[in-house]
């Protein structure tokens, strides 16, 4: 098995010439040629920032739309915590091979080793996660009730990516969207397509509890410096250039990831209240103090001083990457003529789409409808009113918004409806994103079946 895993690692390096960051791994795993994946504007779930499936009330809170949240914050937070510190799980039958199951187990083991969160096989548990195949990588955030899917396409089945998706299920959001992120990183808007600004919107301070854990460049939940870049340049730039290579960790949990989970789930609640740990450390489930290590170590006279996290990260290169395709299906999609109207290809299939030297900064994207049902939604009156911003981002042609700015602002507290709203109901309960919504256009299905081999 070790030889197989080493071979997979070599393939990842050989195919791309470099080690991909966590967001690039997630993007490259997609088996459909669109960026938003899902498109039911009337649904009860929003797909956000590539891999987060949010219930409508969660999404509204992050946008600052739930004005009552400050009064009920503690109750609402606990609503999404897993009861008894246990995450019951099931595996889809006949989907995962031996190596896939080993990677899933390693990701669960990492969370359970360093925190008090336990993973138990679901039997009669009503609330549980369901690991299943998907057309990308995604997870719901926190315990939403009932069956909730953690979707793992073939390219998602590596420990780091799975640990990231489990992190969402635990209750973690993306680090680069924290309310205090401007004190640590700069978002370079010139390098981001205008209609994708919403992926960089800061979370509302009333919706996110950081537990006073410092901003973490090494977090498994932090995207890399070129996430959603239209030209290969930085979209997330650390204020201290020396930290640029730290973001985008795809190896495993960082010290502050572990500390945050221990605080969120009150892992030390049975310990003696008189125990005091260094301010940057934390009290673990075994009632011992832990400080930054690799990723943690017991606090002692040497580690009992302030220090930076030393997560199991590999520094990402800070030089511009070569022009490349990040998805094995890029050339097939490009040959089928999808480059012009599919922004996913423009971002992650630059070589196949001959975009290596053409783009120097983000420009207004070509005018087209990104969603299959735009014409229907227009007839329903969605071009104005509650869904206006969503339609400006995704249905420009139908709504005649081609010459208008999308109006999305990633740094303000306006009511931006940039995310993809979807319906999450199917045979697996509210937690499964239906396969039908993952296909951006129905015509792609024929192409995939005919030309695209199944991802291993």
Instruction: Tell me the three-class secondary structure of 133-179, residue by residue.
Output: CCCCEEEECCCCCCEEEEEECHHHCCHHHHHHHHHHHHCCCCHHHCC
CA distances for 285 relative to 154, 167, 210, 262, angstroms: 34, 18, 20, 8
Strand ranges, E, within 56-112: 86-91
DSSP label of 395: B
Of the candidates 353, 80, 118, 300, the one whose C-alpha atom is nearest the C-alpha of residue 209 is: 80
Contact at 8 Å (CB) between 280 and 260? no
Establish whether the linkage from the previous residue to 388 is cis, with ω within 30° of 0.
no
Work out whether strand 45-48 and strand 52-55 pair parallel, antiparallel, or are unpaired: antiparallel
User: Active-site positions?
Assistant: 165
- Bridge partners of 292, per DSSP, are 296
CA distances for 87 relative to 129, 142, 169, 310, angstroms: 7, 10, 9, 27
CA–CA separation, 355 vs 344, rounded Å? 13
174 annotated among ligand-binding-site residues: yes
Helices and strands in the chain: count of H runs, count of E runs = 14, 13
CA neighbours within 13 Å on the CB side: how many for 194?
A: 17
CA distances for 408 relative to 176, 177, 193, 200, 413, angstroms: 17, 15, 11, 10, 10
CA–CA separation, 85 vs 83, rounded Å? 5
N-to-C CA span, the chain: 15
CA–CA separation, 449 vs 445, rounded Å? 6
Contacts of 437 (CB under 8 A, 6+ apart): 37, 38, 39, 40, 422, 423
| Token pair belonging to 278 | 């260094």
Count of Cβ atoms closer than 10 Å to residue 354 Cβ: 12
Instruction: Tell me the three-class secondary structure of 199-267, residue by residue.
Output: HHCCCCCCCCCCCCCCCCCCCCCCCCCCCCCCCCCCCEEECCHHHHHHCCCCCCCCHHHHHHHHHHCCC
373 annotated among ligand-binding-site residues: no
125 annotated among ligand-binding-site residues: no
Of the candidates 91, 113, 90, the one whose C-alpha atom is nearest the C-alpha of residue 267 is: 113
Indicate the annotated binding residues for Zn(2+).
164, 168, 174
Annotated binding-site members: 164, 168, 174
């Amino acid at each position: 098995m070790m030889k197989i895993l080493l071979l997979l690692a070599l393939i990842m390096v050989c195919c791309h010439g470099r080690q991909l960051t966590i967001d690039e791994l997630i993007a490259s795993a997609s088996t459909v040629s669109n960026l938003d994946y899902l498109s039911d504007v009337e649904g009860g779930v929003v797909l956000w920032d590539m891999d987060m499936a949010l219930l409508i009330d969660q999404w509204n809170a992050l946008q600052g739309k739930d004005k009552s949240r400050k009064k009920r914050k503690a109750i609402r937070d606990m609503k999404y915590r897993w009861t008894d510190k246990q995450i019951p799980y099931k595996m889809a039958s006949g989907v995962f091979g031996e190596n896939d199951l080993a990677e899933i187990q390693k990701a669960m083991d990492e969370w359970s080793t360093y925190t008090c969160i336990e993973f138990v096989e679901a039997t009669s548990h009503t609330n549980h996660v369901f690991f299943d195949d998907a057309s990308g990588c995604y997870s719901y955030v926190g315990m939403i009730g009932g069956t909730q899917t953690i979707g793992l396409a073939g390219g998602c089945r590596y420990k780091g990516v799975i640990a990231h998706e489990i992190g969402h299920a635990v209750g973690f959001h993306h680090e680069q969207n924290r309310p205090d992120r401007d004190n640590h990183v700069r978002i370079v808007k010139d390098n981001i397509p205008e209609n994708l600004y919403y992926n960089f919107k800061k979370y509302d301070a009333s919706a996110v509890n950081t537990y006073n854990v410092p901003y973490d460049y090494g977090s498994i939940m932090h995207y890399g410096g070129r996430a959603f870049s239209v030209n290969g340049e930085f979209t997330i730039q650390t204020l201290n250039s020396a930290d640029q290579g730290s973001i985008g960790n795809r190896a495993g949990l960082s010290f502050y990831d572990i500390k945050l989970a221990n605080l969120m789930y009150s892992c030390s609640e049975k310990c003696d209240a008189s125990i005091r740990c260094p301010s940057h450390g934390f009290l673990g489930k075994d009632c011992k103090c832990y400080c930054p290590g690799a990723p943690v170590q017991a606090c002692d006279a040497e580690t009992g001083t302030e220090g930076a996290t030393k997560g199991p990260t590999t520094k990402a290169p800070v030089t511009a990457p070569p022009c490349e395709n990040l998805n094995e299906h890029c050339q097939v999609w490009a040959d089928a003529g999808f480059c012009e109207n599919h922004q996913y290809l423009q971002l992650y299939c630059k070589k196949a789409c001959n975009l290596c030297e053409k783009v120097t900064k983000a420009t207004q994207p070509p005018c087209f409808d990104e969603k299959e049902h735009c014409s229907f939604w227009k007839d329903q009156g969605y071009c104005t009113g509650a869904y206006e911003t969503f339609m400006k981002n995704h249905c420009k042609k139908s709504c005649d918004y081609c010459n208008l700015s999308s109006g999305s602002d990633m740094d303000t507290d306006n009511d931006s409806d940039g995310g993809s709203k979807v319906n999450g109901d199917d045979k697996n309960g509210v937690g499964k994103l239906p396969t039908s919504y993952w296909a951006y256009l129905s015509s792609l299905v024929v192409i995939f079946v005919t030309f695209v081999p199944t991802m291993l």
